[in-house]
C-alpha cells in the first residue's frame, strides 16, 4: 500500500527534545523516539485518508467531465488538469532524498489546487450552458475539498492528531416498525 513517509530526525538543538519531525512550515519536537514514531504513523495514515478523499473527488469530477464531454466546447483543454493531477499524485508517494521529503506534502497541496482549478473551470463552462444541476454538484465538491484542506492545514499545527472521524458511529434516533 502506498503511503507518504516523512523522516524522523535526531535533534541537536535542544537538550529536552531528542527527536523532531519536519512538517509544513516548521518542526514538531518529541522527548522520545516512540512518541515521534507514533506521531509519524498517525500523520501518514491521516495524510493517506486526505489523499483518498482528493482522489475520490477528482474521480467524481472526471466522471462529470466525461458525461458531458460532447456538451463542452473546449473539451480538449481539460486534459492538462487530468494529466497534471496524475503526475502530482505519483510524486506524492515517491521516495525523496534526505531533506526533500517535504516535497510529498507539497504535492498533496498541489493536488488540492489542481482539483479546485479543474472544478472551477468545469463550473464556468456549465454556468454558460445553464446546467445548474451540474454546477450545484461541482459546488458541493468544492466545499468538500475546502473542508478537507482546512483539516489538512490543522495537521501541521498540532502535536496531537484528531482521528475522531475513524471512530464515530452514526446514532440511530428512531426506527419505525413496519406492519406486516
Percent of the chain with pLDDT over 70: 78
Percent of the chain with pLDDT over 90: 35
Q: Kindly tell me if the per-residue pLDDT of 41 is higher than 60.
A: yes
Pairwise pLDDT comparison (12 vs 84), residue with the higher score: 84
User: In this predicted structure, what is the pLDDT of residue 11?
Assistant: 77
Domain-located, residue 26: no
User: In this predicted structure, what is the pLDDT of residue 95?
Assistant: 66
68 class by beta-carbon count within 10 Å (0-12 exposed, 13-18 middle, 19+ buried): middle
How many folded domains does the chain comprise? 1
Residue span of the structural domain in which 152 resides: 47-162
**pLDDT tens digits for range 118-127:** 999 999 999 9
Of 45, 23, 32, the C-alpha closest to 157 is 23
User: In this predicted structure, what is the pLDDT of residue 164?
Assistant: 56
Q: Which three cell numbers stand for residue 10?
A: 535526531
Q: Kindly tell me if the per-residue pLDDT of 149 is higher than 80.
A: yes
Average pLDDT of the residues in 53-64: 95
Phi, psi of 30 (to 5 degrees): -135, 150
Pairwise pLDDT comparison (91 vs 164), residue with the higher score: 91
Domain-located, residue 8: no
Please tell me the distance from the alpha carbon of residue 43 to that of residue 28, in angstroms, as a whole number. 12
Domain-located, residue 83: yes
Domain-located, residue 169: no
Domain-located, residue 156: yes
Average pLDDT of the residues in 20-48: 81
Average pLDDT of the residues in 97-110: 74
Amino acid at each position: 500500500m502506498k503511503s507518504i513517509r516523512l523522516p524522523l530526525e535526531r535533534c541537536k538543538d535542544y537538550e529536552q527534545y531528542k527527536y523532531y519531525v519536519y512538517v509544513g512550515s516548521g518542526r514538531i519536537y518529541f522527548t522520545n523516539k516512540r512518541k515521534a514514531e507514533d506521531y509519524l504513523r498517525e500523520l501518514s495514515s491521516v495524510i493517506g485518508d486526505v489523499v483518498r478523499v482528493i482522489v475520490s473527488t477528482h474521480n467524481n469530477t472526471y466522471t462529470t467531465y466525461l458525461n458531458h464531454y460532447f456538451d463542452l466546447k473546449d473539451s480538449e483543454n481539460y486534459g492538462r488538469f487530468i494529466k497534471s493531477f496524475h503526475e502530482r499524485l505519483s510524486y506524492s508517494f515517491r521516495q525523496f532524498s534526505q531533506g526533500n521529503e517535504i516535497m510529498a506534502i507539497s504535492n498533496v497541496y498541489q493536488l488540492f489546487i489542481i482539483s479546485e482549478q479543474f472544478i472551477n473551470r468545469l463550473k464556468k463552462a456549465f454556468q454558460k450552458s445553464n446546467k445548474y444541476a451540474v454546477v450545484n454538484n461541482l459546488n458541493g465538491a468544492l466545499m468538500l475539498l475546502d473542508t478537507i484542506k482546512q483539516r489538512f492545514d490543522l495537521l501541521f499545527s498540532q502535536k496531537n492528531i484528531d482521528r475522531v472521524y475513524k471512530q464515530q458511529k452514526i446514532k440511530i434516533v428512531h426506527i419505525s416498525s413496519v406492519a406486516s
